[in-house]
Structure formats: C-alpha cells, structure tokens
Chains A and B, each alone.
Chain A
Amino acid sequence: MQRTSIAGPDYFHKVVDCQWACPAHTPVPEYIRLIADGRYSDAYMVNWKSNVFPGILGRTCDRPCEPACRRGRVEDEPVAICRLKRVAADNKDDITARLPEVAPRNGKKVALVGAGPSALTVARDLAPLGYHVVCYDADAKGGGMIRSQIPRFRLPEEVIDEEVGYITSLGIEMRLGQRIDSLKALLDEDFDAVFVGTGAPRGRDLDLPGRQEAAANIHIGIDWLSNVSFGHITAVGRRVIVLGGGNTAMDCCRTSRRLGGADVKVIVRSGFDEMKASPWEKEDAIHEDIPILNFLVPKAFTHENGKLTGVTFEKVEAQYDDKGRRRLVASGEPDQHFECDDVLVAVGQENAFPWIERDLGLDFDEWDMPKVDPVSFQSTRPGVFFGGDAAFGPKNIIWAVAQGHEAAISMDRFCQGGDVSDRPEPGVTLVSQKMGIHEWSYDNDISNDHRFRVPMREKEAALKDIRVEVEMGFDQALGFKEAQRCLNCDVQTVFAEPLCIECDACVDICPVDCITFTDNGEEEDLRARLKAPALNADQALYVSAELKTSRVMVKDEDVCLHCGLCAERCPTGAWDMQRFTLEMTHAGGTGACGR
C-alpha cells in the first residue's frame, strides 16, 4: 500500500467516528472533555457553534454519532453522546454574553420561509454578518416542527424558547403568524436571496373503507401532535390505536397515554425489528405499557352510527426474494379486529409546495420535489435556496441544521457576488498533547465503566402530566462518569518514520493489537496479515513509508483506544498524540459565527 496521507482534512476526521457521522460535524470528544472538566458553558458553546440547538438536540437528536462511536466496537455500548450534550445545556451559566456580535447592516436582505431548525440555522449564520434577515412562519412562535411535533414530556417549552431566543436576539425580523402563500409575491419584494425551510408539513393519510364515515375519530399524527402542542387538543379516547412505526408514531402513542388513553397500542405493517423508530424510542413506549403489534396491515376502519368502533387488519408475513428484497404477503390467517375509540395515523410525512408557482424558473422533479443542488442547496432559480426536510424530504433536526449551514454559505456567496459552487475546505490543526515524559493534556486512563442509564421519572408521575419531562438527564456526577467513557478519538496517533527504531515497544503495549510491523502488500493481503486481522473494511489502515528493515508500520484504526500508550512507550517520540481540530467553514469564512 501507499504511505497514508494525513495532510488533508479527511483522514483523521474519519478516525473521529462520531464527528464524521454527525451531519454538522460537531467536535464530540472536544465537548465531552469540557463536560468532564466541569466547563459546561464552554461545552455548550462548542455545540452551539456547530449544531445550534444543544439543549433541544440533547433530548431529541436521532444521534447518528452513537452507532458510529468507537466505544461501541470495543465493548457493548457507545458513549451516551446525545445525553451528555444535555448535561452541558442543563449546567451552563448564562451564555448571552458569548453570543456573536452583530456586524453593522451590510445592505443585503434575505427572506426565510419557515422558522424551523434549518431556517433558524441560516438566520444564526447570516445575521451576525450584517444581513437583514426576515423570517416568516405560519405558527405563532418560532421553532417549526421542534415546537409543534415534539411532545413536551420529551422537550420542555422553556428549552425551545431559550434556544430559539438566542437566534432571534441576533436582530432577526420575525414575522410570525404570517403564512407565505405565494413565492412569486415574496420574490417580488426586495430580497437579495430567499431560503425555503418549510419542512415536510403534510402527514400521509390512509384511504381505507370507513375513513370518511369515522373521520371524527381518525387523526393525522403530526397534525394531532401539533394541536396537542398548541393546546387545541387536551383529551383522547380511552382506547387508542396508533398506525405506523416511526418516531412520530412513538410520540403519538406516548402522548395518548397522557391525555386519557389507558389502552394504547401501536400496530405496524412491518416486523418489530424493521420499524423506523429509534430503538430507544420503542423502548420508552414499551416502558409506558404500550404494546407494539407487528405484521398487521390495516384493511378498514369499522364504525357504527357514524362513530369509529375499531380497525380491521390483515395478518402478513415477510418473504424475501433471491435479491434479499422483502415483501409482505398475506399469511392466510383470519383478519384481526381491534376495538378503539380513536386512531392516530402516523405512516409518514410528505412535502407540499402548493404555494410555489411553477412558472418561476424553479424546476420540480417527477416526485414533485424542487430540484436542489446537493452541495449548494440552490434551486434551479438562482437566489432561491432550500434546506431541511423541504430540500430532500423528511430526515431529522441535525440534518436540517447541517443543511442550513451549507445554504447560509451559499446565500452569503450569492449575495456577495461569489460562486455558490465554490466550497471552502474546513480548517484543520494537529497539536501535540505531550506535556511531560508520560503526561498528556488529556486523560488517557481509559474508564472500564459500562454505559450509564439516564435517570427517568417514576412512570406514574410521568404519565399524569404531559408537561412533565420523563428523562431527568444525567446529574453532574453521572455526567462526569459517562464522559470518562469517551475514548478521545480526536487525539490522534501520529507516526514519524525517521524516528522509529523498530523496537516493538508500541506493538507490545497496545491493549487492542492495533499496530503491526510487517512487509508491505496490497490492502486485502495486508489486512489479513496484521497482529489482529483488520476485518472492518470501513476503518482505514494507517501505513507508514518503508522503514529501515524494509518493513512498514501498519495501524488498524478500527478499535484504537487512543490511550497513547504507544507514544508513552516509544523511546524516540516516533509516535505522538496530537489533537485534531476541524474548523467547519460557516458563512462568512472559517468559524465566522464565533467571531
């Protein structure tokens, strides 16, 4: 193999699995160290800079970082990254003085349609640069789906108010309660650029027999959740059936339990394991005595005298064709009928752009979605940008934030007469962490603890009031212990060939057999010949140039604990532990919003 190039931003970034997996590339190990150090405000600001909503995401994020976490590959469970973020948010001091200073107005004016996570991210990035940002939303308060769709027992309103408030305080002109009905009309105003962050606001319906007749007790999940959030709905029937297996379905069933639903079930078409909901959300629902029944396809709503009486289901089973594709086929068992008073339909969301005229030079594709450039987030009409669910369909908050950042860069370039396709590389620094002969400026003594559980409120108390938050979050002591489980993957093992005397000290000390000195070869061959065969092809091999004995050093990054023992036992300093910092480029240049 060729000598590994560590010069660009990507090689070591990939080693920090959590940061690489995070759409916004939040420097996870960095803020976890700050939490362990009790520097909660600093940890919060590291988050705020990259993901904008630490308190909200610390409760609701889909956490793509956790399945990626290296800790999950050396023991059973990853670090509770998401819940540690909340520890920073819960324990920080007043951070208002740390918010970016707003530059004098630069004469440019941008419109944001929607006040959800993507649009607010754009606002956060552009307002400090001097843009006049005008943000429209049909709802009475900002936050978008964060406020309307996530139930209060998962996310208290104060947290939303606080974090939305940090952004609106940057001098955003909020036009709440004002729905945009025509993009054309908006474009006719004097905006230099327009951002569309209207989410995926339409819940899918199920057009089955009985749907019309029993309409009074059949509700679209996200609309129903929104009505609960804004206080328009305060009660539900005793027996509730939730149709659908995503996170919205989980929110619907748990909300029902708090509004008078005593017998609540979730019924899904697929198998339990293939449900779209995150495993922990399913767990939480089951914990609240909500059974999840699977392989049942709804056939009809039954009703009597215009009132819903239940739902009939066909029992199916999964069959796989030779390509491994799954098909649900009738199992031949008799249909099942479940009685209920209300049905919540949570079978997916769709985008809807009835308010965008089709003659504006803004092209739509065959699925009636706007054609959006995946890098610049610009539509086919220059100056109109999309982000969040409005751009590429339903994802989750952290994706919306990441896309908001990218769109903001494009809008800034567009307004300043630059090329939106010209994307700046992130800034990268590597700094040695060596403090003394065996002292490092990070805690390299690996904790043997298993993942700690987040304390939960007693079920009885939690179910009584929809505003009572179920999870209480880690306290400082537990937060510290969980933070210590982080392996500091951003502190990189950096190898310098000219210094190596091939004494084997690093090979002998490595607790996870990462390092091998061997003859060079093709990657596949090399992977099989290492001290511990490198079977995880997603993880890179770090290969040195040829050494004095004509062998090469090969390090498998897969399960490296970043404990630094290789560097501690290296007599010549050929190994060094260097902290990798990735400075994501935000609108206005490197780290602009931190100015």
Chain B
Amino acid sequence: MTYILKPQLHHPNLKTNDLGKTRRDYEGSVSTLCAGCGHDSISAAIIQAAFELSLPPHRVAKLSGIGCSSKTPDYFLGNSHGFNTVHGRMPSVLTGANLANRDLIYLGVSGDGDSASIGFGQFAHAVRRGVNMTYIVENNGVYGLTKGQFSATSDKGSKSKKGVVNHDSAIDLVSVALQLGATFVARSFSGDKDQLVPLIKAALSHKGSAFIDCISPCIQFNNHAGSTKSFDYVREHNEAVNRLDYVVGRDPIEVDYEPGTNTLVTQHDGSVLNLHKLAAHYDPTDRIAAMTYLQQRQAAGEVVTGLLYVDPTAEDLHENLETTSTPLNSLGTADLVPGSAALARINAGLR
C-alpha cells in the first residue's frame, strides 16, 4: 500500500475535456490495494472513460458492496457521490437510488464474491428489472481479502496458488446476465485498456442494465500457472469478437476497416457504436446466437471478450413502471403528499 498522496503536479500538456477538466480531475485517493492489482487498471479505465465522456462528476453515483473490488470507488471519481453498501446488497441500494433519482448516472462496482456468491440474488434481480446502470464486476476468481480461497467464478479444474484443484463448477456471470435479460453485456480484461475504455463509455451511455464482466488478475493470490484468471492465461486464451470504437453524437463515422467488417449500432441517445468485427459472422444484437457462441468457445477453453450483446432499443425500469420523470427530491409537497382526496380515489379504485 502506498502511503504518500499522488503528487498534484501533472503533465504540462495534459488535455482538457468539454468541461475544462483534465483526466487527473477524475481521480480519487491513492489506491490501498496490493501493488499491480488488476482492479487499479479498471479504476484507471473508468477515470479515462468518464474524462472522455466529459461526465460532470457531481452527476455520477458510484455504489459498491464489500471486497477488494468494492473498495475501488474510493480510488476514482473523487468528486462523485459514493455509497459503500452491505456485502452483496449494492444492486438493491442502487435500484432504490435509481428509483428516487433517475437523473444521476449509476455505476455499480462489485466483485466475484460480492455478485456471484453473497449477492447473487441481488445481482440477478437488478439485471432482470432493467435498472438503468452500468454494473462492473471486477472478476479475479479468488477471495483476495481472505487470502486466496476459490470464489464462485473460479473455473473447474483451475489450481489455487498452493496447488489445490477446484472441483466446483464456475458461475459465468456473462451467461447469467444474458439469460436474465441484460440489454448490454460485455467482457473485458484489466490488462487491455484499449478494449475496456470504449466498453465502459458505451455502457455508461446505454439506457438499461449494462453489465461488464472484467477479468482482473489478483497478483497476490491468482496470477500463477494453473490459474485461469492470470495475465498469462487470459492473454493466451483471449478471443475478442470485436473491437469497439465508441462514437458520441451523430458525427460522420470514419470507417477505416474493410467494408462488411463493421457493425454500426445506434443507441437511444443517438450515440453510435462502431464495432469492428474480429470474429466473422458474430452478431452482437442476437442474444441467442451470442449465448450459443459463448458456450462453444468456453468449451474450447477460450475466454471470449468484447461487446457480446446489445439491445439498442432497450427500455428501463422507469418506463416499465411508468414512474414520474422528476426525481423525488425535486418534487414539491403537493406532488409528494397529494392529500386524503387522492388517497380516497386510489382506495376506491381498488374496491
């Protein structure tokens, strides 16, 4: 753990975004995680994405549960709203916050323990309800804080640092999210920011539940031979189905790839996702095909990464529930307390 503050001095030519902020303005405090932790790279990718999107920090709410991953919101977006919830309960708190104030941008950060074990049910319900959020699981396949036991996402047959073989089947959060109806599903790797940053940007601008499973090697307990979440293993078995150039607005798109190798997906807000196909015939808007493909490659020992599925016309929880478009904290007393006549009307409607 580093004890000193990161120096305020920055590169003299550091770029500013539309808000006049530099990337450094989106940082948080210095990480207390182990040196080299993949989670720190994901934090850096979130910082980069928020900077490039020119997000106003005070419009972002970052929520997390318990674990190494759930400590990280302290290390990015230092000027945003933060809520460190009970273990595995982040999805519920996020859902509640989203219902109360739909105007904020919600970023849930969790880990494989927090989402695939104690909070598995919470994770499932937030996803299936279509809460408008970006949900990132920093997946290292190990319980780092308690010194390296297998987690629920550890692959069957993989070895612990001490050589013990894991006999339990792994929960594949990407497959689960697809099954539960997530409208944006991606997998990436902390060691490949070129891939990760555009995915986070696209997820943040997606309306609906966007899920990113990010493999993040645990340097201390899960970066050895025999692990399937190590730098070397992931680099060797990584099969990226596409490369995403996230494009804001409706600017003309420069396609510098060969014709027919690109997929353009226009989202709700008009933003365009320019996807460069790496796997021929892979269609990221076909949920069933995606699920099939994932299972096939997984059986072949590959780690499929990229934007796996997106539904650009997705609707979110608020639309389904027909809630008020005004955040609760902006409603006046007359709207919040409509009086006994309104109550009588509702009661009458239920008789």
Contact = CB atoms under 8 A, between A and B. Distances in A.
Interface of A: 73-75, 438, 444-446, 448, 501-505, 507-509, 511-513, 532-533, 535, 548-549, 559, 561, 563, 565, 568-572
B6 A505 contact: no
A549 B235 CA distance: 8
B4 interface: yes
B10 interface: yes
Most buried by B among A502, A505, A535: A505
Interface string B146-185: 0000000000000000000000000000000000000000
A559 B11 CA distance: 7
B44 A513 contact: no
A503 B231 contact: yes
A475 to B, nearest CB: 26
Counting from the closest, the 10 A-B pairs by CB-CB distance are A571-B36, A446-B7, A508-B44, A571-B35, A445-B4, A503-B36, A571-B219, A505-B36, A532-B11, A512-B11
B224 to A, nearest CB: 11
B1 interface: yes
Contacts of A511: 6-10, 24
Given A445-B4, A508-B41, A513-B14, A501 B9 contact: no
Contacts of A533: 13
Contact of B38 (A446, A503, A549, A572): A503
A548 B191 CA distance: 13
A438 B223 contact: no
Contacts of B274: none
Interface string B319-336: 000000000000000000
B7 A569 contact: no
Contacts of A549: 235
Interface in B137-152: none
State the main secondary structure of chain B at its contact with A. loop
Contact of B11 (A438, A508, A513, A565): A513
B12 A504 contact: no
B13 A504 contact: no
Interface residues of B, number: 35
Contacts of B4: 444-445, 563, 565
A565 B231 contact: no
Given A74-B10, A448-B8, A511-B8, 8 more contacts: A503-B191, A508-B40, A511-B24, A512-B10, A532-B14, A549-B235, A563-B4, A569-B35
Nearest to A574: B36
Contacts of B235: 549
A140 to B, nearest CB: 51
Contacts of A535: 13
A443 to B, nearest CB: 9
Given A502-B191, A502-B231, A505-B35, A569 B9 contact: no
A438 B30 CA distance: 13
B222 to A, nearest CB: 13
Interface string B26-37: 000011001111
Contacts of A548: 232
Given A508-B43, A532-B13, A565 B6 contact: yes
Contacts of A568: 2, 35
Contacts of B5: 445
B306 interface: no
A504 B197 CA distance: 14
Interface string B241-255: 000000000000000
B257 interface: no
A569 B40 contact: yes
Contact of B7 (A438, A501, A563, A572): A563
Contacts of B38: 503
B104 to A, nearest CB: 26
Contact of A504 (B1, B8, B30, B41): B41
Contact of B35 (A444, A445, A561, A570): A570
Nearest to B44: A508
28 contacts: A75-B9, A444-B4, A503-B41, A503-B217, A503-B219, A503-B231, A504-B41, A505-B41, A508-B41, A509-B2, A509-B30, A509-B40, A511-B9, A511-B10, A511-B24, A512-B10, A512-B11, A513-B10, A513-B14, A533-B13, A548-B232, A559-B12, A563-B7, A565-B4, A568-B35, A569-B31, A569-B40, A571-B35
